[in-house]
Amino acid sequence: MTAVEVWWGRTADARPGLVGELAPAERDRLAAYARDEDKSRFLVGATIVRRVLAGKLELAPADIQLDRSCPDCGRQHGKVSTEGMQLSVSHSGDLIVVAFHPTAAVGVDVELINPAIDADSLAAVSLSDLEATELAGFEPAARARAFTQYWTRKEAVVKATGDGIRADLRKVIVSAPDQPPALREWSGYDGPVRLVDLQAGVEYAAALAILSDQSPEVRSFDAAPMLRS
């Protein structure tokens, strides 16, 4: 199957000159963020989407037609989509990641690992009983990373299917962090899913899901040179 392209950016890649490539609704959303780091994450993510698509479609970045309609309220703050390409955006800390595939739906998630989180308490509201039992088997010092790996795998799956925050993550059961990534069970969903852990550095966990019965080839790219051009 066609490879999934995964593009990585950082908040440090943001610069004022990129704003001119955004659509009016995107500029309004950018202005609404109160914190500079949130502005940078959104600007870098939106620019990666536009510039990668521009290169594939031979259009100017500002001419790319994107839709972020929320399925619940219709406002432009939902998952980004465009005709002829499946994509997914995630950001955490100073990392931004965007995944692209021409036909199969994809979901990507990256999370900064917080060593101070109460992984056991979070497990009670986001992991199945089986997953929580597995998590308890990790040494306390390793539980923050293990929980975050569970989380990114689950988030990648529900982003790929389009369920997003409406999904009950306790029912989306994925493999343990020390096992190859896979969706083990999700009651009510019987479609194909393949999961891949992404390398994002020691401070992060990241995962990619694709709605396919074939394991994808993943090609990773540093977006910094593209964003500087």
| Domains of the chain, CATH where assigned | 1-104+212-229 (3.90.470.20), 113-190 (no CATH)
pLDDT on residue 136: 96
pLDDT on residue 118: 94
What is the average pLDDT across 3-22? Answer: 97
What's the token pair of residue 191?
């479609």
What is the average pLDDT across 58-81? Answer: 78
Task: For residue 76, name the pLDDT band (cuts at 50, 70, 90).
Answer: low
CA pair distance 8, 98, nearest whole angstrom: 7
| 28: Cβ contacts below 8 Å, ≥ 6 apart | none
Give the number of C-alpha atoms closer than 13 A to the C-alpha of residue 194, restricted to the C-beta side. 14
Residue 70 has pLDDT above 90, yes or no: no
Report the SS3 class of residue 139: coil
What is the average pLDDT across 92-109? Answer: 97
| Average pLDDT score, the chain | 94
Q: Where are the beta strands (DSSP E) in the chain?
A: 4-10, 67-69, 76-81, 86-92, 95-101, 106-112, 172-174, 183-186, 194-198, 204-210, 218-222
- What are the pLDDT digits (tens) for 24-49? 999 999 999 999 999 999 999 999 99
Residue 1 has pLDDT above 80, yes or no: no
